Amino acid sequence: MTLAADPARDPGHDGVQPSGAILPARGLGDRVSAVFWRHPNVLLATLLALPLLWLVVVYLGSLAALLMQSFYSIDEFSGQIRREFTLSTYAELLRPANMDIIIRTVAMSAAVTLGAVVIAFPIAYFAARYARGHWKALFYLGVMLPLWSSYLVKVYAWKLILAREGIITWATDGIGASAVLNGILALPVIGGNSLSTSYIGTWLVFLYVWLPYMILPMQAALERVPQSMLEASADLGASRWQTMQTVVFPLALPGIIAGSIFTFSLTMGDYIIPQIVGSSRRFIGQAVYQLQGTAGNIPLAAAFAVIPIVIMLIYLTVARRKGAFDAL
Amino acid sequence: MRSDNRPPLILTAGAIAGLLFLHLPILLIFLYAFTTDERTYQFPPPGLTTQWFAVAWNRADIWPPLYLSLRVAALSTVMALILGTLCAAAMARSRFFGRDQISLLIILPIALPGIITGMSLRSAFSIMDVPFSTWTILMGHATFCIVIVFNNAVARFRRLSGSIVEASLDLGANGFQTFRHVILPNLGSALLAGGMLAFALSFDEVIVTTFTAGQQSTLPIWMLNELVRPRQRPVTNVVAIVVFVTTFVPILIAYYLTRGGSETAGGGK
- Parent domain of A205: 97-327
Question: Does residue B240 belong to the interface with chain A, where contact is any CB pair within 8 Å?
Answer: yes
Question: Could you give the number of structural domains in chain A?
Answer: 2
CATH number at residue B225: 1.10.3720.10
pLDDT given at position A21: 54
Residue B115 lies in a domain: yes
Share the mean pLDDT of chain B.
85
**Which chain A residue is nearest to residue B83, measuring alpha carbons?**
A51
Name the amino acid, one letter, at A151. Answer: Y
Residues 263-292 of A with CB under 8 A from B: 265-266, 268-272, 275-276, 284-285, 288-289, 292
pLDDT given at position B251: 85
Q: What is the mean pLDDT of residues B237-247?
A: 88
Higher-confidence residue of B209 and B45: namely B209
Backbone angles phi, psi at B92, to 5 degrees: -60, -45
Higher-confidence residue of B88 and A37: namely B88
pLDDT given at position A124: 92
Taking an 8 Å cut-off on Cβ atoms, the answer to whether A122 and B18 are in contact is: yes
Q: Chains A, B: CB contacts under 8 A, how many?
A: 272
Question: Does residue A24 belong to the interface with chain B, where contact is any CB pair within 8 Å?
Answer: no
Least Cα distance to A119 among A227, A60, A207, A38 occurs for A207
Q: Does one domain contain both A145 and A231?
A: yes
Set of chain A residues whose Cβ sits within 8 Å of the Cβ of B116: 63, 66, 269, 305, 308-309
Positions of chain A with pLDDT under 50: 1-20
Higher-confidence residue of B258 and B192: namely B192
Taking an 8 Å cut-off on Cβ atoms, the answer to whether A269 and B116 are in contact is: yes
- SS3 sequence of chain A: CCCCCCCCCCHHHCCCCCCCCCCCCCCHHHHHHHHHHHCHHHHHHHHHHHHHHHHHHHHHHHHHHHHHHHCCEECCCCCCEECCCCCHHHHHHCCHHHHHHHHHHHHHHHHHHHHHHHHHHHHHHHHHHCCCCHHHHHHHHHHHHHHHCCHHHHHHHHHHHHCCCCHHHHHHHHCCCHHHHHHHHCCCCCCCCCHHHCHHHHHHHHHHHHHHHHHHHHHHHHHCCCHHHHHHHHHCCCCHHHHHHHHHHHHHHHHHHHHHHHHHHHHHHCCCHHHHCCCCCCCHHHHHHHHHCCCCCHHHHHHHHHHHHHHHHHHHHHHHHCCHHHHC
pLDDT tens-digit readout, B188-236: 888 998 999 899 889 989 989 998 988 889 999 999 988 888 888 888 8
Q: Does one domain contain both A242 and A132?
A: yes
Residue A265 lies in a domain: yes
Taking an 8 Å cut-off on Cβ atoms, the answer to whether A81 and B7 are in contact is: no
Residue B184 lies in a domain: yes
Residues of chain B above pLDDT 90, percent = 20
Per-residue pLDDT at B254 exceeds 80:
yes
Per-residue pLDDT at B185 exceeds 50:
yes
Per-residue pLDDT at B3 exceeds 70:
no
pLDDT given at position A326: 60
Question: Does residue A240 belong to the interface with chain B, where contact is any CB pair within 8 Å?
Answer: yes
Taking an 8 Å cut-off on Cβ atoms, the answer to whether B124 and A272 are in contact is: no
Which of A23, A84, A152 is most worth mutating to test chain B (most B CB atoms within 10 A of its CB)? A152
CATH number at residue A294: 1.10.3720.10
Higher-confidence residue of B244 and B161: namely B244
State ipTM: 0.84
Set of chain B residues whose Cβ sits within 8 Å of the Cβ of A328: 268
Per-residue pLDDT at B261 exceeds 70:
no
Residues B71-88 as b or e (16 or more Cβ within 10 Å = b)? ebbebbbebbbbbbbbbb
- Parent domain of B112: 59-258
Question: Does residue B54 belong to the interface with chain A, where contact is any CB pair within 8 Å?
Answer: no
Taking an 8 Å cut-off on Cβ atoms, the answer to whether B243 and A212 are in contact is: no
Question: Could you give the number of structural domains in chain B?
Answer: 1
Taking an 8 Å cut-off on Cβ atoms, the answer to whether B25 and A154 are in contact is: yes
Residues 62-91 of B with CB under 8 A from A: 82-84, 86-87, 89-90
Q: What is the mean pLDDT of residues B51-69?
A: 88
pLDDT given at position B2: 45
pLDDT given at position B141: 93
Question: Does residue A251 belong to the interface with chain B, where contact is any CB pair within 8 Å?
Answer: no
Residue B39 lies in a domain: no
pLDDT given at position B72: 95
Residue A138 lies in a domain: yes
Residue A224 lies in a domain: yes
Q: What is the mean pLDDT of residues B79-98?
A: 87
pLDDT tens-digit readout, B154-175: 888 888 877 888 888 888 888 8
Residue B40 lies in a domain: no
Nearest to B244 among A41, A150, A275 (CB): A150
pLDDT given at position A9: 44
